[in-house]
Structure 1
Amino acid sequence: MTGTGSVGEPPAFEILAPREQTVPFVFNSPHSGAYYPPEFLAATALDRTAIRRSEDLLVDRLFTPVVELGAPLLRAVYPRAYLDVNREPYELDPKMFVGRLPSFANIRSLRVAGGLGTIPRVVGDAANIYKSPIPVDEAIARIDRIYRPYHDALRRLLAETHLRFGCAVLIDCHSMPSNLQGAPLRARPDFILGDRFGASCAPEFIDRAHKVLRELGYTVCRNKPYAGGFITEHYGKPAHGLHALQIEINRALYMDETRLEPHAGFARLLEHMSLLSEALVAIPGEVRPEPLSVAAE
């Protein structure tokens, strides 16, 4: 299934759906999109390789086996350098645009300050994306055309899952550069699991993921430096049976980060992600909700 795009444009998303959903899980790959519109490439100051540095290359493929386990996989079509669906809808930097932003735009978030708003100013290594400011109308059009359909689809998947099973578990799938800015060599883990410091999902999910990955021989950290982005925070409401866990994978495990190609480790990691997914969906689907007084906001 695909999101409807405008004439001549790809859809906002794709859904790989099982013949029948048999588990209360939805997997999501919001940063694996790789369609770069020609007009965007013409407007960028970066070459084709540099603009892809923030792409979660191949993460959607690493989790494709979840469809055989009975869970849908939602994946982006457009790259995060073009529009980042793991942000609020209007986290926008006024310095990037020609024209006045809507009054409701969030122009003061830490992500905007870092150049990583809904329409990013930089790729991960702080390289500026654009040659010059772009029209505000272009930013709003991208949000309407890509962001809103993507989140409509994600909400629909979670609502249908919750209705069918009594709860819904969102696994938000990402990758990270092996060279984490500001981190010493010994502090670069293979995986970082994010549950907003316990606020976005019941502990069973992060505990099981941590245990499985450690048993497979990986180094694992929780919540630092990635506790979960907008998607994890926004959709994870354990008190209401809605759980969200973010998984960050060190890219060096499966790809050549310079050539942006998979290496020999990809097949091994694909197998291990299948084992991890099997372990997660084996957790009883209905996890007792937390008291409403401690629910994630």
Structure 2
Amino acid sequence: MEYKRGVYLYTLPEGDMAPSVFDVPRSGREYPLGFHSTAPFNDVHFLVSQYVEEIWARAPQSGSGLLYATFVNNWIDANRGERDIDPALLFEPWPEPLDPTDKSNRLGMGLIHSKARGHALYPDKLSVAEVKHRIEHYWRPYHTRLAELIEERRQKFGIAFHLSCHCMGTIGPVTAHDHGLRRKDFCLSDRDGTTSSREFMEAIAEAMRKRGYSVTFNDPFKGAESIRLHGKPEAGVHSVQIEVIKELFMDEESFQKKPDFDKVQEDLAGVAADIAAYARSQAR
């Protein structure tokens, strides 16, 4: 294993490396000493994609690498863009142009989260220096390492396959277009065909369906920064975001693992093995 304290944990592939790498950017549970929030902890922690690094923990057994961001996403969100910052969160103007998205403006869930289930995360605004520190010491080192891992595979095999792994609420929340509806087991996203080939999406879906899971494409999520930043199918890098409903493996309010946790982990080990086999079949 490779560990960068407070930033990431990388589990090397076992045996022959496949041209595939998994990343888990929003499941970290390490709260930096500088993190101070006035919001209730259960609301702060609710947005952590808990246990995702565990349900995919066996991916390296079939030859894929697994990169896991260990810092909590409420500190800085590795699945948001560097310029996705709400200016209202800052004491002073940002020195360069910002590009806040709807996630920042409406939900307070941009690069730096400002809200947690309706509660303000911070009693005061943040300084530019504080936000830059988080970018330079957490967000950037994580994505730099992910880019290196992807490029290592592209150079060796002529192609690379990147899976960004997340979990989602089982029922669409009030802020979503699928409010009140039960979601399918998995959502596969490629930003409407811009970060991956359709063939790769179908290969992942087939691996899930044959194990009894339901799958949607780009609904309710299109895919965010991790695949936008790294997915370049025209250059041989195919990136797909994978969302799994929490109901399959954890209680959404108590954060406790469900009795079927081990079965889900075993099933996803099989899915990861099928992905690695597909990736090898596409190598030059």
Using structure 1 for the length normalisation, give the TM-score.
0.88
Paired with 1:169 and 1:284, the residues of 2 have a C-alpha distance of 7
Q: Quote the offset at 1:39 in angstroms.
A: 3.0
Match of 2:13 among 14, 18, 31: 18
- Show CA shifts across 1:40-71 (max 9, x none): 1xx31223222111101010011111111111
Question: 2:13, 2:65 within 8 Å by CA — same for their partners in 1?
Answer: yes
Structure 1 consecutive aligned stretches of length 4 or more whose deviation exceeds 3 Å = 184-187, 284-289
Unaligned runs of 5+ in 2: none
Match of 1:176 among 168, 191, 194: 168
Q: Quote the offset at 1:214 in angstroms.
A: 2.0
Paired with 2:74 and 2:138, the residues of 1 have a C-alpha distance of 13
* Greater Cα offset, 189-198 or 96-105: 96-105
- Show CA shifts across 1:106-157 (max 9, x none): 2x4222213111111123x343211221222111111111011111101110
Is 1:205 matched with 2:197? no
Q: Quick one: which amino acid aligns to residue 154 of structure 1?
A: L
Q: Quick one: which amino acid aligns to residue 256 of structure 1?
A: D
* Greater Cα offset, 241-250 or 110-119: 110-119
Question: 2:76, 2:139 within 8 Å by CA — same for their partners in 1?
Answer: yes
- Show CA shifts across 1:223-262 (max 9, x none): 0121111111221111111000111010010001111111
Match of 1:155, SS state, is: helix
Match of 2:49, SS state, is: coil
Match of 1:262, SS state, is: coil
Question: 1:196, 1:228 within 8 Å by CA — same for their partners in 2?
Answer: yes
Is 1:248 matched with 2:243? yes
Aligned residue pair count? 279
Paired with 1:147 and 1:20, the residues of 2 have a C-alpha distance of 30
Paired with 2:95 and 2:281, the residues of 1 have a C-alpha distance of 41
Paired with 2:44 and 2:16, the residues of 1 have a C-alpha distance of 36
Paired with 1:20 and 1:69, the residues of 2 have a C-alpha distance of 8
Match of 2:275, SS state, is: helix
Paired with 1:197 and 1:90, the residues of 2 have a C-alpha distance of 22
Residue of structure 2 equivalent to 1:68: 61
CA RMSD of aligned residues (A): 1.8
Unaligned runs of 5+ in 1: 4-9, 290-297
Question: 1:241, 1:287 within 8 Å by CA — same for their partners in 2?
Answer: no
Q: Quick one: which amino acid aligns to residue 2 of structure 1?
A: Y
Paired with 2:225 and 2:192, the residues of 1 have a C-alpha distance of 14
Residues 134-173 of structure 1 mapped to structure 2, 5 A cutoff: 134-173=126-165
Q: Quote the offset at 1:287 in angstroms.
A: 4.1
Is 1:278 matched with 2:279? no
Using structure 2 for the length normalisation, give the TM-score.
0.92
Match of 1:54 among 24, 47, 51: 47
Match of 1:256, SS state, is: coil
Q: Which has the higher contact order (CA 8 A, sep 6+)?
A: 2
Match of 1:38, SS state, is: coil
Structure 1 pair 165–126 and aligned structure 2 pair: CA distance change class (3 A): farther
Is 1:116 matched with 2:109? yes
Question: 1:191, 1:218 within 8 Å by CA — same for their partners in 2?
Answer: yes
Q: Quick one: which amino acid aligns to residue 16 of structure 1?
A: T
Match of 1:207, SS state, is: helix
Q: Quote the offset at 1:31 in angstroms.
A: 0.6
Match of 1:175, SS state, is: strand
Match of 2:25 among 5, 27, 30: 30
Match of 2:41, SS state, is: coil
Match of 1:174, SS state, is: strand
Is 1:105 matched with 2:106? no
Question: 1:241, 1:288 within 8 Å by CA — same for their partners in 2?
Answer: no
Q: Quick one: which amino acid aligns to residue 261 of structure 1?
A: Q
Question: 1:21, 1:72 within 8 Å by CA — same for their partners in 2?
Answer: no
* Greater Cα offset, 179-188 or 152-161: 179-188
Question: 1:228, 1:246 within 8 Å by CA — same for their partners in 2?
Answer: yes
Identity %: 26
Question: 1:167, 1:285 within 8 Å by CA — same for their partners in 2?
Answer: no
Structure 1 pair 185–210 and aligned structure 2 pair: CA distance change class (3 A): farther
